[in-house]
Amino acid sequence: MKKSIIIMLLAMFLISIGATYAQGVIATQKGPSQAQKGQNVTITYTIQNNGNKDIYNVSVADQNFYKFIGTLKAGSKKIFTEKVYIPTDAEVKADFGSDATVSNPFFIGGVGVTYQDASGKTFGINSNSISIPLVSSKVTNATIPANITQVASGNANTDASQEGILQQIMNLFYSIMQYIQNLIMPQNG
């Protein structure tokens, strides 16, 4: 019990150091309610600046794409789409071995967003991840909703050029800390 309280207080302290500015920036992604293996699907990304200050050098990236947005004025948002290919089991087996299969639902992790405030301080947040139920190629009238879960935004005071696994770990850490903060002190909205 004592250990969990210490961890919770540490999380609140780390988040309070710089999360205020990042709380106004939200990144979300949405996909189709269902898809098939071997199909390209369209994912819609929304980067929203709900804060009262402009943000600069906004960029969005994951393992498949990089998009530079530039300046995002206070109260505005940028929406764009990207195609994601869902491989077939045969393609996955060819790349990863005979036991490999495509997961169902098909999981797409969150994208990372970096931006700067007017002073040049760099922040980072992560979008939600999504799961897309896969259906067979048979025609069906049933609609299966996508399991879309918002991952709490966090921030990272990092160099904008830093990339790779360390950046992803830091983004995940800050997302978890923001999630914990939201559980402890929910925002009114």
Distance CA 189, CA 179 (A): 16
Please count the other Cβ atoms lying within 10 Å of the Cβ belonging to residue 56: 15
What is the rounded average pLDDT of the residues 52-75?
92
What is the rounded average pLDDT of the residues 47-56?
93
Q: Which residue has the higher pLDDT, 163 or 90?
A: 90
65-74, 153-162, 180-189: range with lowest mean pLDDT = 153-162
91-105, 135-149, 170-184: range with lowest mean pLDDT = 135-149
How many alpha carbons lie under 13 Å from residue 50 in its C-beta half-sphere? 10
To the nearest whole percent, how much of the chain has pLDDT over 90? 53
Which strands, in side-by-side order, build the sheet including 147-149?
106-108, 129-132, 147-149
Is this model's pTM higher than 0.75 or not? no
Secondary structure (3-state) at 59? strand
Q: How do residues 116-127 score in pLDDT, each as one tens digit?
A: 999 999 999 999
8-17, 55-64, 80-89: range with lowest mean pLDDT = 8-17
Is 133:102 a contact under the CB 8 Å cutoff? no
For the cut 60, the answer to whether the pLDDT of residue 52 exceeds it is: yes
Instruction: Name beta bridge partners: 59.
Output: 68, 114
- Whole-angstrom CA distances from 6 to 1, 56, 94, 179 are 9, 36, 48, 17
Write down the pLDDT at residue 177.
Answer: 62
Strand 25-30 versus strand 39-49 pairing type: antiparallel
Write down the pLDDT at residue 36.
Answer: 95
Q: How do residues 25-43 score in pLDDT, each as one tens digit?
A: 999 999 999 999 999 999 9
What is the rounded average pLDDT of the residues 126-152?
67
* Two tokens, residue 163: 């990339």
Average pLDDT of the chain, as a whole number: 76
